[in-house]
Amino acid sequence: MRIRATVAVATGALALSALAVPATQAAPAGDRPGVPAFGSATHQDSAAAPKSNARAAVEAPVIIKTVVNANKPIVVGTTVPKKVAVSVTASHPSGIADADMIIWIGSSVDDPNGWGFVSMGDFTCTPVNATTSTCKQSIEVDPLWLINSDTTKWNVGAWVESKDGSSTENVKFGKTSLQRLSRLDVNAAPEPVKKGGTITVTGKLSRANWETGTYKGYATQSVQLQFRKKTSSTYTTVKTVKTSTTGTLKTTTKATVDGYWRWNFAGTSTTPAIIPAGDFVDVK
């Protein structure tokens, strides 16, 4: 069983640690800790709701925007943690001194079944002008902590502190999403083939299964078979084929000229698009 261990706080960053043993069964979501707290470069030492700065302020900083992974879905494989660039832009008359960010899912930050990832350390804040700064850091998304249903919209939370010590936070400032990394291969045979002869094009579409740490076939998905002549740089769609229950692809077609055959998967909300390199077939 894959076990998602508790969250521990380390100086300058929230340390995510887990015990990994051969993954044969998904751990229940309840094995994961609640939404980790944030609210400074070193975060809070509680998994409860984030705390605002205790110092009262006449005027709180204003969060202008957040960016997670260049506003693209976060695509995660089976074993390697994905380091995701994050930034928050904020403003205050005294300037911006510090920031923190989190991505999380759940009904609220108090939800015991919620889950999230916090930033990895101190943010670097670069002034845009006298009152506004953009603060940057990264968040590491480790597939060891994920289950397949995590391919959904995640909340983006941000906390900023001004140079005069006032702070503000918004745990639902924006949204981001996670996707399971896809794989797709192609083979066209026989090679070579007589002009007008039949070739068989095969392949397999698979995607990361976070609960087993392996890639599993993606069933009943529409995939385009495409071809380009050796003398051309443009692919055209020949037909659309659906993957089998195990993710395999197979179809036949006529070969009339030398060229490259490939599959083209457009992607879904949970799985990114992918196009493998074309397989060349020599026509005699």
Is residue 157 scored above 70 in pLDDT?
Answer: yes
Residue 254: the pLDDT is 97
Q: Which of 180, 195, 226 is the last residue of a domain?
A: 180
pLDDT range class, residue 46, cuts 50, 70, 90: very low
Domain co-membership, 22 together with 146: yes
Question: For a pLDDT cut of 70, what percent of the chain falls above it?
Answer: 82
Q: Single out the residue of 192, 163, 35 nearest to residue 91, CA to CA.
A: 163
pLDDT (average), residues 83-107: 97
Q: Single out the residue of 183, 192, 181 nearest to residue 255, CA to CA.
A: 192
Residue 36: the pLDDT is 82
Residue 11: the pLDDT is 25
State how many domains the chain has: 2
∠ CA 26-28-30 to the nearest 5 degrees?
Answer: 150
CA distance 40 to 26: 33
Q: Single out the residue of 148, 154, 206 nearest to residue 26, CA to CA.
A: 148
53-67 confidence digits (pLDDT tens):
444 446 999 999 999
Domain co-membership, 65 together with 196: no
Determine, yes or no, domain membership for 229: yes
Domain co-membership, 59 together with 121: yes
Determine, yes or no, domain membership for 245: yes
Determine, yes or no, domain membership for 123: yes
Determine, yes or no, domain membership for 158: yes
Residue 30: the pLDDT is 54
Q: Single out the residue of 29, 20, 44 nearest to residue 102, CA to CA.
A: 44
CA distance 89 to 135: 6
CATH of the domain at 53: 2.60.40.10
Which residue type sits at 276? P
Domain co-membership, 15 together with 99: yes
166-212 confidence digits (pLDDT tens):
999 999 999 999 999 999 999 999 999 999 999 999 999 999 999 99
Determine, yes or no, domain membership for 232: yes
pLDDT range class, residue 31, cuts 50, 70, 90: low
Domain co-membership, 196 together with 76: no
Domain co-membership, 12 together with 30: yes
Q: Single out the residue of 116, 111, 112, 172 nearest to residue 145, CA to CA.
A: 116
Domain co-membership, 147 together with 56: yes
Determine, yes or no, domain membership for 1: no
For 113-212, list the strands marked E by DSSP: 115-118, 124-127, 132-141, 153-162, 167-180, 182-189, 197-209
243-273 confidence digits (pLDDT tens):
999 999 999 999 999 999 999 999 999 999 9
Q: Single out the residue of 72, 68, 60 nearest to residue 88, CA to CA.
A: 68
What is each CA distance from 80 to 85, 119, 124, 263, 267, in whole angstroms? 16, 17, 25, 26, 21
Q: Which of 164, 180, 196 is the last residue of a domain?
A: 180
Domain co-membership, 51 together with 143: yes
150 or 32, higher pLDDT: 150
Domain co-membership, 229 together with 197: yes
Domain co-membership, 51 together with 129: yes
Q: Which domain covers residue 133, as residue numbers? A: 7-180
Domain co-membership, 143 together with 161: yes
Residue 111: the pLDDT is 82
Domain co-membership, 176 together with 49: yes
Q: Which of 146, 180, 214 is the last residue of a domain?
A: 180
Q: Single out the residue of 183, 230, 218, 225 nearest to residue 202, CA to CA.
A: 225
> Nearest 10 degrees: CA dihedral of 118, 114, 210, 7?
50
Distance of CA 206 to the CA centre of its chain: 16
First to last CA, the chain: 54
Is residue 51 scored above 50 in pLDDT?
Answer: no
Residue 47: the pLDDT is 38
Token code pair at residue 73: 């879905």
CA distance 45 to 38: 9
Residue 58: the pLDDT is 63
For tokens 């706080």, the residue is 9
φ, ψ of residue 31 to 5 degrees: the values are: -70, -15
40 or 235, higher pLDDT: 235
Determine, yes or no, domain membership for 2: no
pTM of the model: 0.82
Q: Do the Cβ atoms of 101 and 38 come closer than 8 Å?
A: yes
pLDDT (average), residues 26-40: 66
State the chain's mean pLDDT as an integer. 86
9-23 confidence digits (pLDDT tens):
222 222 222 222 223
pLDDT (average), residues 142-157: 96
Determine, yes or no, domain membership for 45: yes
